[in-house]
Each structure stands twice: as C-alpha cells, then as structure tokens.
Chains A and B, each alone.
Chain A
Amino acid sequence: MTPSLVHQFVRHSAEQTPLATALIEPGREISYADLNGLCNRVANLLLTKGVHRGDRVVLALKNCIELVACYFGTMKAGAVAVPLPPGPRSDRFAHVVEDCSPTVCIVDTPTAEEQAAALCGAPVVLVHRNRNGSSGNGKHADPETRPDPVQRPQIQSHSDLRDALESVSDTEPDVRMIGSDLAAIIYTSGSTGAPRGVMLSHLNIVANTESVVTYLRLSHADRVMCVLPFYYVYGLSLLHTHMRVGASVVIDNRLAFPNAVLQAMTEYCVTGLAGVPSTFALLLHRSSLMAMSFPHLRYVTQAGGPMPPARIREWLEKGPPAPLYVMYGATEASARLTYLEPRELSAHMGSIGKPIPNVEVIVLKEDGQQAGPGEVGELVARGSNISRGYWNNPEDTRASFGPFGFRTGDLGYADADGFLYVVGRRNDMLKVGAHRVSAKEIEDVLSEHPAFHEVAVVGAPHDILGEAPVAFVVLREGQGLDTEEVGEFCRRRLPSHKLPVGVILRSEIPKNCVGKFDKGALRQAAREVIRTSHRVARTRTRHPSDRMNGPETTSNSP
C-alpha cells in the first residue's frame, strides 16, 4: 500500500527491502528493518513518557541515525516533530521551546548543558550522548577544569536516550492517525524577526515527496550524500524522498572539510548530491573536486536560494558531469515548488524552472491581478504541499496565506514559455548560505549594544555564502568602539550565519520619506565598501589591536 503518512515511508521500505541500507554515517550504517525497529522503540518510549497524538517533541541533535529514528518515531507515536539546530549557539531554542510547549525534548549533550534554562520547562528531557560518550567539548577534556555545574541552571531530570530505548519494545505501536494531522513544525525566520513555526501535515509532506520522487526519478538504487541538516526543510526533503523509495542516505556533517565529503562520496558510490549555493562554492573553490571522479553520480540538486549563473556555469564546467537540477521552494511548501529540467538549464540560465507536479505558481501584481509574461509580481503558490500556516501565529498566517495561496515573499516573473525567474524579495530578508535571515532580528540584537545609537542591517554579496549580513552603525555621542569587544558581543548572541561580516560606522543612516532606513541605498553602500576593502586589504594591514573612535573616515563616503 502506498504510504499516506510520513513515518510509513520507513515501514514501507522495511517491508519491501528489509536488508537494504537505509542510512550511512562514516563507519556506521543501518538497514531499513533495523531503522524501522529503532523508530518503533522511540515511539513506544514516547508513549510511555505520556506523549499523546498532536503533542510536540523537540529534536535538537546533529544529523545522525538516532535523529532520523527520533524524527520518524515521533510521528509513529502520533506526535509532531520539531527539529531544531542543536548546540549552545542556537539563538532560537528558548523561544521555540516556549512557543511550541513540547511534551518531550530530545537533545544532544552540548544542548543539554548550554540550553538548560530553556529545558527546565520541558516535562521530559532525553539526552543523546555522542557515540564516544563525550560531551561536546571532547572526550579528553580535563574534568578538573570543567566549569562548576552548580553555576549553571540544571535540568530537573533527564534520561539517557540510548538506555531508555533499551527498555522498550521494537514492535509497531498502534496509533490511529490521518493525513491532515500535523507531522512536523519547522521554525524559520519571520520578517518581523521572531522565528515562526511552519505547520506541515503528513499530507503536505507526502504530496511533496511524491512529486520530487517523480521528477528526480529516484529509486531504491539511489544513494544520496546529505550534508544539509535535518532541521532545515531541504535536508528533511532529502530524507523523505530517499526513505520513500528505499534508497540510502549518507549522512556527513563534515562539509567544513569538503575533501572528506568528496572522499565519502567515492567510498560509498554516491548517486546523488544535494547542496545550497555555499555548498557548491566550497566544493568548487576549497576542495580537490576536479582531481576526483564520481562515476556513480546520477543527479545533483541545488536549492536554498539563487545560485549566480556564473557559479552554475562554473559547476557545469568543472563539476562532475551529472545533470544539475536547479530547484526553488520554501519551508511553507514542505520544501519544493519549482524545478528546472537540466536539459533546459543552458537555454534558461537564471530561471527556477516551472512548478513541480501537483503545484501551481502564479505571479500576482500588487493590485491583485495576475501578471502577464515578463511582468514582475509576487510568486504565489498552491498545492497539497502548502502548509496551513504558522503555529500559534494567526497574524502572520493571515498575512502569508491568502485566497490565492501561499505568498512566498519573492518577487519574480514568468517568461512567455512559463519559465519562472526570481528578481528580489518583497520584505527585508537575507539569504545567508541556505538560511533565511531577517535583517530585523540582527538589528534587534545589535541594538542592545550600549554604544550603538542606531543599527541597520543589509545583505552584501559574499563569495561563499552568496549573501552575508553587514551592519551600519551610528554610535551614541561620545562613545568609542572596541572592535574586539563588538566581535565578542555578536559572537555571544548570534549563531555564525547571523554574524555581520562587518560593521560600517556612519554619522547617520539614510532614511526614506517615512523615516524608514533606505535599505536600497545601504545595500549599494555596503557593496561599495566591500569593494574598497578588497583594495585596502591588499595594500595595508590594520593592527589587530586598533581601537576606533567615532566614524571611520574611509566609510563615510556613500
């Protein structure tokens, strides 16, 4: 029977090909039969912990076999999976735990240690220790130098995930569910700054999965390299689609070392590679890609924001000869909305293609009329894959989900042949690597700095990430600036993808007629300053201990 619920992907493949490899980590793998059993254990454990249908279960682990088991196991228990970035620097963790009020949180050791205050409110906390049993700081950390635990908030009570799973059955629990039940809530940055939870039903995810499987022609013979995190909808989509067809997913968290990932691709005879623009930038410019061959590679997919045509051409020229699928989507679409057939790529460079099966995308003008060919408007999407809205947030839901469908916030147009192009954003969002980041959330954090009078953040072009935040700052009168201190201030409050690559001091920030920051002028100015700093960097080196007082002369030009 065709799966109609997300967790049935695993059970279906376990019935069809029980011994086939479902997941591979470097040095470790698991079959579909064993993965299904592990998912059942998770489900039974959650049920014994008092989880009911519709309850939320927060999952903050790095990509690993246990995370996958917890994800599908949560759904087998009838609950809703809420995957989150793990670790001490997840700035949204506390907000999300408060917003979705989970019954259970399953976290790794560093998250348990550093997010203890947020976890105190969760009824049940299960901690997954790293395979070597270490804390995040390494197995050889000297216990004598570990910080005194009494100085930090302590979780009231928690259990070890692995121990707890040993004590429960691996038989399939009997929980009745329907397709319109929620399967997952994926938190994403809203334009107002606060993260908002995109509610995805089983129906949403199953519909999108079937479409993607169809156009990528995925089969059980496929084996995809996954470097994308599962708290990100593109990473989840890889998991869904490949579990659906009984293929294998190779989990590799070492993209920081691109050669290690490429080596794993050859070792495991990978047939598929998925990346965001920064993935391709790293592989092209920081690896031995061209010296290696990937004879089994059948498809490459790119999504997570626009990749410049120059980078696409470079990949086609220097990358493996497998066809490249340029794709476009949104968390609210369970991942995918459009794709460009590889054979159309050279003729429609820069296009995001056409809607995937079972999805409709129209271009809507500001007056509510549908745009004609070449006319720019907002991309609005309809389909079984579209979310019903944001958790606990009727206001944003009303703003984004209208009578014509989901308003993507992306401005674009369709050409005469129906190929879609994205030209900009309706709201003030940045796309840093694959992360959608609100300028306002960074502005809000920087504004807490006592020396800053006014802060405006815009995106500026970046070699690897595509776009990166740059902050314009007006200092309070009489205030100087210690650059190291500002760096430390930001690092303590923002995850790395939200850290401004630079701060530009100004005596004032240009504003439009209604007093709002003129972001267009600021983007232009940021580009200009970065171009100048390239030149400066080649000719002089500023002493690292320089302190700056007042507006910097080199950055006062527009």
Chain B
Amino acid sequence: MIGLGRFCDCMKVRYRPTNLKMTISGQVREFITSNFYVPHPQALADTASLLEAGVIDSTGVLEIITFLESRFGLKVNDDEVVPDNLDSIERIAEFVARKKAGSGGV
C-alpha cells in the first residue's frame, strides 16, 4: 500500500528525502511544501500561520509531528502541540532548535 502523506499511524508518510545540509527551517519548509497543498510555495512566508492559510488541518498537524519526530529524533509531547510551537515554519524551526538544545517547547 502507498501512503499518500496524510496519516501517520498506519501508513508511511511520503516525503521527499530532505537535504541534511539544509537549515532546520529549510527542511521544515521543504516537508510542508512537498506534502501539503500550497498553491504558491514561494509566497508562503516563514511567519505565516499554517492553519490560517489553510495549509494544515488537524491531521496535518499530526503529520508534521511525525515528521519532526522521525527527522530530528524528538518526542513531541501532547502539551507541546500548541500554535506557539507548530503554527508556522519559523515557529516549528525554533521549537525544534529548542528541543534539540534540551530546553523544550513553549
């Protein structure tokens, strides 16, 4: 079976291999623009709300969490699943950086 990049529990998320030399922000951007419908990827600002822009919904957030956990070796706790940590490319990148530094989410 081919998972189409929606649900993380029972299907493998389909994402393009990320360039390990890219910044965290670049990798997150690549994942989002490759796996969600973004009509004009170049116009999606790092600071734009992914929810407000209609890029993600509740299952989309779960996909992003699965990506972050597998790509960066993190564990995203339920209480960290808040807009301040995950609602824009910039916020996600900052969240990942904080987690990797061991200081946790917001």
Q: Does A381 contact B (CB under 8 A)?
A: no
Given contacts A530-B10, A545-B16, contact A257 B48 (CB under 8 A): no
Q: Which of A138, A492, A529 has most B Cβ within 10 Å? A: A138
- Interface residue B43 (Cβ < 8 Å from any Cβ of A): yes
The answer for the CA separation of A545 and B19 in the assembled complex, in Å, is 13
Knowing A147-B40, A486-B4, A492-B37 touch, does A544 contact B10 (C-beta < 8 A)?
Answer: no
CB distance from A556 to the nearest CB of B (A): 11
- B83–A257 touching, CB < 8 Å: yes
Chain B 57-77: CB-based contact to A (< 8 A → 1; otherwise 0): 111111000000000000000
Q: Within the complex, which residue of A254, A286, A501, A554 is in contact with B6, where a contact is CB–CB below 8 Å? A: A501
Q: How large is the interface on A (under 10, 10 to 19, 20 to 34, 35 or more residues)?
A: 35 or more
Say whether, besides A286-B62, A462-B7, A502-B2, A140 and B82 are in contact (CB < 8 Å).
Answer: no
Stretch from A320-328, A348-356, A463-471 at the B interface: A463-471
Cα of A24 to Cα of B3 in the assembled complex, Å: 39
A146 within 8 A of B: yes
Question: A537's closest neighbor in chain B, by CB?
Answer: B12
For the complex, what is the distance from the CA of A555 to the CA of B11, rounded to whole Å? 14
Question: Across the interface, do A544 and B49 meet the contact criterion of CB distance under 8 Å?
Answer: no
Nearest CB of B to A64, in Å: 11
Contact partner of B16 (CB less than 8 A), chosen from A137, A147, A484, is A484
- Could you tell me the distance in whole angstroms from the C-beta of B59 to the nearest C-beta in chain A? 7
How many Å from the CB of B64 to the closest CB on chain A? 10
The proximity string for B residues 1-22 relative to A, scoring 1 for CB distances below 8 Å and 0 otherwise, is: 1111111011110111100000
Complex contact B47–A140 (CB within 8 A): yes
Structural contact, B61 and A487, CB atoms closer than 8 A: no
Residues of A within 8 A of B6 (CB): 468, 496, 499, 501
CB contact under 8 A between A465 and B4, given known A253-B51, A286-B81: no
Given known contacts A137-B45, A257-B83, what 18 new A-B pairs fall within 8 Å (CB)? A136-B52, A138-B48, A138-B53, A139-B47, A140-B46, A146-B40, A146-B43, A254-B51, A254-B83, A255-B58, A257-B81, A259-B82, A463-B10, A483-B2, A487-B35, A496-B59, A501-B4, A537-B11
Query: Can you show 25 pairs from A to B with CB atoms below 8 A apart?
Result: A88-B54, A134-B48, A136-B52, A137-B43, A137-B53, A138-B44, A138-B47, A138-B52, A138-B88, A140-B45, A145-B43, A146-B40, A146-B43, A254-B83, A256-B58, A257-B87, A286-B78, A465-B59, A504-B1, A529-B1, A533-B11, A533-B12, A544-B17, A545-B16, A555-B1
> Could you tell me which B residues sit within 8 Å of A by CB distance?
1-7, 9-12, 14-17, 34-37, 39-40, 42-49, 51-54, 56-62, 78-79, 81-83, 86-88
